[in-house]
């Protein structure tokens, strides 16, 4: 088993994170030459090129596992230091989709705020697993059921989405019901270019997903606001729409229609107290909030 040098691994990770050797040197309080020498020594040890020398610099396929290793070792070091010296607050980087963040995840993590510094990365549930693969985050709420290499996975539950609009929007565009013809011309609110929730329901109804006008609103709370303001119809999770439905501000386009999105918890296989605490709070909240 290789005897890894933590300074060399940190130099590689800093360069990968910050994009240049100069920036990595400033972060590590060393010279750019020292960063370059550490990375070259690591490349000699592994017999592989670990960093693409371009702008910005990026890890190669061979370098990505070592960048991830550096981040994991830093997490373990911070955890041990905290127990020994009771000093730094440990950091846990977590990827989460916007709807979970807005509805149930933040309240779940609030009790940890004084002892764990949570770094939240908002990413679509279909793409968050990529952040685990490259080591950018230690855990993720994701739609990926297959464990990323070096991670464990468990089911959290299901977020159920339904198509909603304002009563006025429904009366204007869907007086005859949410038919394929009406859905082809009625404006729709979409989170971003990768959001497929509305497309999935349109396809089920026999409508061309590319036909209707689209409003892109890439923030979960603002997405719901756009639907409330009548920009278009959109798929909203039960957790986010219940109050508006009860107050009559939103109505379902089809009372029986829904799209279920299974969510999973993936985290590094390494164990730190901070990561374990975050995982337990997420599990508990998911059991209460999800189907």
CATH number, residue 170: 3.40.190.10
Answer yes or no: is 67 within a domain: no
Q: Give the residue from 81, 128, 86, 116 showing the smallest Cα distance to 265.
A: 128
> Is 200 found in the same domain as 123?
no
Q: Which two tokens stand for residue 160?
A: 């159920």
DSSP string, 223-253: HHHHHHTTS-BEEEEHHHHHHHHHHTS-EES
> Is 168 found in the same domain as 148?
no
pLDDT in tens, the chain (291 residues): 577 888 888 888 889 889 999 998 898 888 888 888 899 888 888 888 888 888 888 888 888 888 888 888 877 777 766 665 555 678 888 999 889 999 999 999 999 999 899 999 988 767 777 788 777 788 999 888 998 877 899 999 999 999 999 999 999 999 999 999 999 999 999 998 888 999 999 999 999 999 999 999 999 999 999 999 999 999 999 999 999 999 999 999 998 889 999 999 999 887 788 889 999 999 999 999 998
Q: Which two tokens stand for residue 85?
A: 């010296």
User: In the 8-state DSSP scheme, what is residue 178?
Assistant: S
> Is 153 found in the same domain as 265?
yes
Answer yes or no: is 13 within a domain: yes
Q: At 56, which CATH number?
A: 1.10.10.10
> Is 81 found in the same domain as 53?
no
Answer yes or no: is 1 within a domain: no
> Is 111 found in the same domain as 203?
no
Q: Give the residue from 201, 289, 165 showing the smallest Cα distance to 239.
A: 289
The total number of structural domains in the chain stands at 3
Q: What is the pTM of this model?
A: 0.70
Answer yes or no: is 106 within a domain: yes
Answer yes or no: is 124 within a domain: yes
Answer yes or no: is 18 within a domain: yes
Answer yes or no: is 68 within a domain: no
> Is 15 found in the same domain as 41?
yes
The whole domain housing 80 covers: 73-158+261-289
> What H or E segment, with its residue span, contains residue 273?
helix 273-289
Q: How far is CA 179 from the centre of its chain?
A: 34
> What H or E segment, with its residue span, contains residue 284?
helix 273-289
What is the residue whose two structure tokens read 């190669």? 60
> Is 215 found in the same domain as 92?
no
Measured CA to CA, the distance from residue 120 to residue 110 in angstroms comes to: 13
Answer yes or no: is 238 within a domain: yes
DSSP string, 63-87: THHHHHHHHHHHHHHHHHHHHHHS-
């Amino acid at each position: 088993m290789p005897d890894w040098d933590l300074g060399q691994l940190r130099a590689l990770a800093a360069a990968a994170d910050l994009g240049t050797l100069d920036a990595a040197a400033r972060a590590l309080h060393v010279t750019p030459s020292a960063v370059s020498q550490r990375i070259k020594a690591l490349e000699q040890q592994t017999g592989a090129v670990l960093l693409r020398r371009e702008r910005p610099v990026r890890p190669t396929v061979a370098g990505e596992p070592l960048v991830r290793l550096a981040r994991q070792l830093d997490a373990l070091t911070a955890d041990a230091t905290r127990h020994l010296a009771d000093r730094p607050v440990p950091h846990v980087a977590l990827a989460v989709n916007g709807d979970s963040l807005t509805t149930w995840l933040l309240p779940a993590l609030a009790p940890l705020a004084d002892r764990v510094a949570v770094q939240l990365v908002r990413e679509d549930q279909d793409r968050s697993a990529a952040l685990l693969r490259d080591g950018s985050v230690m855990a993720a709420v994701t739609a990926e059921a297959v464990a990323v290499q070096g991670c464990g996975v468990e089911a959290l539950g299901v977020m159920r989405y339904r198509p909603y609009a304002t009563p006025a929007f429904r009366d204007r565009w869907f007086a005859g019901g949410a038919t394929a013809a009406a859905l082809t011309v009625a404006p729709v609110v979409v989170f971003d270019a990768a959001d497929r929730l509305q497309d999935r329901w349109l396809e089920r109804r026999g409508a061309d997903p590319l036909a209707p006008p689209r409003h892109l609103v890439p923030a979960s709370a603002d997405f719901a606001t756009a639907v409330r303001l009548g920009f278009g119809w959109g798929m909203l999770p039960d957790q986010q729409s219940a109050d508006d439905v009860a107050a009559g501000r939103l109505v379902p386009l089809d009372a029986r229609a829904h799209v279920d999105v299974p969510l999973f918890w993936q985290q590094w296989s390494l164990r730190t107290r901070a990561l374990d605490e975050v995982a337990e709070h997420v599990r508990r909240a998911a059991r209460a909030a999800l189907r």
